[in-house]
Amino acid sequence: MFNAHLINDPYGDPGVYVEFKFRREALLFDLGDLHVLPPRKLLKINHIFVSHTHMDHFIGFDHLLRVCLGRDKRLSLFGPPGFIGNVESKLGAYTWNLVENYTNDFLLSVTEVHPDESMTREYRCQDAFRPVTPMVRKDFSGIFLDEPFFFVKGEFLRHKVPSLAFALEEKMSVNIKKSELVEMGLPVGPWLMELKGRILRNETDETPVRAWWKEGEIVLSLGELRERVVKLTRGQKMAYVADTGYSEEDAGRIVDLARGADILFIEACFLDADAERAAEKHHLTALQAGRLARRAEAKRMILFHFSPKYQGCGHLLEEEATRAFEGSET
Ligand SMILES: [Zn+2]
């Protein structure tokens, strides 16, 4: 289970922060201005997915790097063609003559993807962020990350430069059978959160789990609880569609990627009345965003990347997209 939210308001730099409920882990989609996130939240980030490296999607790199310096940390970044060069240029812009004295181990793993190949290089702080490994090349088929409990896949869209859209899908969700709890004489309470965490971390059947309440407690094996009170169902899905021009081909890609998403973050830069300007700048209109969310059968749509020209009248963008999303366009 995860919470996903926009980092800034819809006029601010794009970016979504995703926090998993039972693990000390967070993901970031786009790397714009991050100052609103406290260091505690930034330090939870393990994986970052960058749609493209226009400044408003990448300027947060320096801030995050600064927060992570002096810590034991591994940070993986994924981005479009040219991304390794972009990161190396950022790293090359600073003087690192003192970091060899650091005792911590801070490692950056940077992957750039091309339609059928990914390239990865690693950089260690203690080595002044010089590449520690030769470039590792692998076949790429759209999966950026495949973890035990979730995966992240992506698509190439066109924004005059390649721009990546992403979908995060949990492999399962942990539900509790309340009737079975009653039968076993177990109370509901915070201990169930702990139980869900152990299931999601795939701990062994022998793991003791303490169920406690006001008057007492009982210790059971994870295996017994797994068998009797836990039901696994489809996990949550989130999709993130940042800067892209509209074309039928890309629309099909977006719809396939975001299909059935519980939450779809999608850019809506312009009103349909300014569709020509949107096309010139390779961005979506609110109408297009709403139609795409509807075609993808997303359960919820969250808009971002409003053009500053609509400052003070963002509700017009919201209304236009919502009418299209709900199928009530006139
Ligand atoms: Zn852009």
Q: What is the pLDDT of residues 41-98, one digit of tens each?
A: 999 999 999 999 999 999 999 999 999 998 999 999 999 999 999 999 999 988 877 7
**Are residues 34 and 142 part of one domain?**
yes
Classify burial at 324, counting beta carbons within 10 Å of its beta carbon; exposed 0-12, middle 13-18, buried 19 or more: buried
Percent of the chain whose predicted confidence (pLDDT) is above 90: 70
Residues 6+ apart with CB under 8 A from 37: 7, 17
- Is 137's pLDDT higher than 80? yes
Cα 103 to middle of ligand 1, angstroms = 38
Residue that has been written with the tokens 């039928």 in this structure: 248
Cα 55 to middle of ligand 1, angstroms = 8
Domain with 227 in it: 173-233
Cα 280 to middle of ligand 1, angstroms = 12
Chain-centroid distance, C-alpha 119? 20
**Are residues 259 and 219 part of one domain?**
no
- Is 174's pLDDT higher than 90? no
**Are residues 3 and 126 part of one domain?**
yes
Q: Which two tokens stand for residue 162?
A: 């390649």
pLDDT at 237: 96
pLDDT at 74: 94
pLDDT at 102: 78
Percent of the chain whose predicted confidence (pLDDT) is above 70: 99
Q: Which two tokens stand for residue 179?
A: 């009737």
Task: Please check whether residue 167 lies inside any domain of the structure.
Answer: no
Overall residue count recorded for the chain in this entry: 330
**Are residues 215 and 324 part of one domain?**
no
**Are residues 120 and 252 part of one domain?**
no
Count of domains in the chain?
Answer: 3
pLDDT at 97: 79
Task: Please check whether residue 166 lies inside any domain of the structure.
Answer: no
Helix 60-68 to helix 83-91 angle (10° resolution) is: 60
Task: Please check whether residue 324 lies inside any domain of the structure.
Answer: yes
**Are residues 225 and 101 part of one domain?**
no
Cβ(56)–Cβ(14) below 8 Å = yes
- For the stretch 182-205, pLDDT in tens is 998 888 888 888 888 888 778 999
Cβ(33)–Cβ(53) below 8 Å = no
pLDDT at 284: 92
Cα 304 to middle of ligand 1, angstroms = 13
Cα 14 to middle of ligand 1, angstroms = 10
Cα 306 to middle of ligand 1, angstroms = 12
**Are residues 98 and 64 part of one domain?**
yes
**Are residues 208 and 273 part of one domain?**
no
Task: Please check whether residue 229 lies inside any domain of the structure.
Answer: yes
Cα 312 to middle of ligand 1, angstroms = 22
- Is 148's pLDDT higher than 80? no
Cα 296 to middle of ligand 1, angstroms = 23
Task: Please check whether residue 238 lies inside any domain of the structure.
Answer: no
Cα 159 to middle of ligand 1, angstroms = 7
**Are residues 124 and 6 part of one domain?**
yes
Of 70-74, 118-122, 263-267, the least confident: 70-74
Which of 81, 111, 146 is the C-terminal boundary of a domain?
146
pLDDT band for 128, please (50, 70, 90 cuts). Answer: confident
Task: Please check whether residue 160 lies inside any domain of the structure.
Answer: no
Cα 281 to middle of ligand 1, angstroms = 9
For 159-184, what is the mean pLDDT?
Answer: 91
Strands (DSSP E) contained in 31-190 are 45-49, 73-79, 106-114, 117-124, 136-139, 143-146, 150-158, 162-170, 173-176
Task: Please check whether residue 180 lies inside any domain of the structure.
Answer: yes
**Are residues 224 and 248 part of one domain?**
no
pLDDT band for 5, please (50, 70, 90 cuts). Answer: very high
**Are residues 84 and 30 part of one domain?**
yes
Q: Which two tokens stand for residue 143?
A: 């999966």
Task: Tell which phi-psi region holds residue 305, choosing left (phi > 0), alpha (psi between -120 and 50) or beta.
Answer: left
Comparing 102 with 62, which gets the higher pLDDT? 62
**Are residues 177 and 137 part of one domain?**
no
- Is 22's pLDDT higher than 80? no
DSSP state string for 270-308 = B-GGGHHHHHHTT--BHHHHHHHHHHTT-S-EEEE---G
- Is 330's pLDDT higher than 70? no
**Three-state SS annotation for 6-48:** ECCCCCCCCCEEEEECCCCCEEEECCCCCCCCCHHHHCCEEEE
Average pLDDT, the chain: 92
pLDDT at 329: 75
Task: Please check whether residue 271 lies inside any domain of the structure.
Answer: yes
